[in-house]
Amino acid sequence: MKKLTITFIVLDILVAIGFFVTYCPLFENLQNTIISTAINTKTHDYIAYIFYSEEHVGKVIAMNNFTPIDEEVKLDDIVIDTKPRDSYDNPYDEEILTRDEGNEDYKYIKVKVGNYDAHLVAIYDPSKVKLLTGKAFNTKNSSGKETVLNMTKRMGATIGINGGGFVDYGYGSDIPIGYVIKDGEVIWSPTSEPGNLIGFTKDNKLLLVKATGEEAVAMGMRDALQFGPFLMVNGERPEFNNSAGGFSRAARVAIAQRKDGIVLFLVTEGTHAAGPNMKEVIDTLELYGAYNAANLDGGTSTQLVINNKLINNPKNIMGNSVKGGRGVITGFGLFLNEEKEEAKETE
């Protein structure tokens, strides 16, 4: 009987703590993070409405919203010229353009994004940045999804990051959300509606466009996936409605291109609810000369692989490390040689 009483007392204390954290104004930032994360996760948005009113959820969503950039990417502004230089615009420019001895292909740089550790990779030849894809799309048992580590090994990429989203029932799937374009062909098209497409043209320029997959291919897109938002367009950045910086906080992945054609992969540490906000990501990309940039899938999916090694520490929603990385379905990679295997997808 005494053990039962103690158990109920402990449960009462835990409930009281949970209630305090959920509603006390002192924990407003944490509460906003819970709401934003639940809403942005899509499949778990019901969590926000269990604890908070529709009005309160709406206010938090509005606070973290931003005004998208209403501009078309000016591809002519990108003049690919990535050869070494003798002079630099600033220390960040010098850091990017100064090659590591014996490596003319890429440079890895440890950085901070806000207060979080992060990893920046500068890729000097944009023609070698291509799409990573899982083994198959929409299999009955989700066998098509792979970690980025497995994708890079199978396809022969030296570097890889995760890319687009996928239908998630809490454990992931191999069903991409939105269009996937590879080698100038739409290989996944679940809709006829336009979406935010992120990818490279046949001229090796990062194109960010709201279009259907077919329209993007007509524009010259060779490899692309659907995600977002766009973080920089022609050097312009979105306006956030609140100092929170948009989309709350989480582990982040972004891809960008400088005016000289150098491609940037940015991957941060964090979890679903802890990590840099969008403003901090943009600030960092801007320092390193990004001209066009887009957000890719983050949270547990966040992965950077270099030379068959997972560089970051992906964590799940509970904050526990995900050994080897989470299974995903698309990404971008640096291919110094031809792909070892062409991934075959079915629509």
Reported as a single tens digit per residue, the pLDDT across 294-338 is: 999 999 999 999 999 999 999 988 889 999 999 999 999 999 987
Determine how β-strand 253-258 pairs with β-strand 221-226.
unpaired
pLDDT at 257 over 50: yes
Per-residue model confidence (pLDDT) at position 272: 79
Of 212, 225, 213, 221, the closest CA to residue 165 belongs to: 225
Which residue type, as a one-letter code, is found at position 67?
A: T
The answer to whether the predicted template modeling score (pTM) of the entire model surpasses 0.85 is no
CA gap 97, 260 in Å, rounded: 10
CB 157 within 8 A of CB 333: yes
Q: 296: helix, coil or strand?
A: strand
Q: What's the distance, Cα to Cα, between the start and end of the chain in Å?
A: 61
Sign of the Cα torsion 152, 257, 229, 74 reads negative
Average pLDDT, the chain: 85
Q: What pLDDT score does 86 carry?
A: 85
Q: Parallel, antiparallel, or unpaired for β 253-258 and 185-188?
A: unpaired
Contact 291, 231 (CB under 8 A): no
Tens digits of residue pLDDT in 40-83: 544 456 555 666 666 655 555 555 566 778 889 999 999 999 88
Q: How far apart are CA 280 and CA 278, in angstroms?
A: 5
**Contact (Cβ atoms closer than 8 angstroms) between residue 179 and residue 345:** no
Task: Reply yes or no on whether the pLDDT at 344 is more than 50.
Answer: no
Query: How long is the chain?
Result: 347
Is the Cβ–Cβ distance between 270 and 297 less than 8 Å? no
Q: Which tens digits make up the pLDDT trace of 113-156?
A: 999 999 999 999 999 999 999 999 999 889 999 999 999 999 99
Distance of alpha carbon 158 from alpha carbon 267, whole angstroms: 16
Which residues have a Cβ under 8 Å from the Cβ of 91 and sit 6 or more positions away?
A: none
Indicate whether 20 pLDDT > 60. no
The answer to whether 179 touches 189, Cβ cutoff 8 Å, is: yes
Q: What is the pLDDT of residues 77-114, one digit of tens each?
A: 999 998 888 889 999 999 999 999 999 999 999 999 99
DSSP secondary structure, 118-163, as one string: EEEEEES-GGGEEEEE-S-SS-TT-TT-B-HHHHHHHHT-SEEEE-
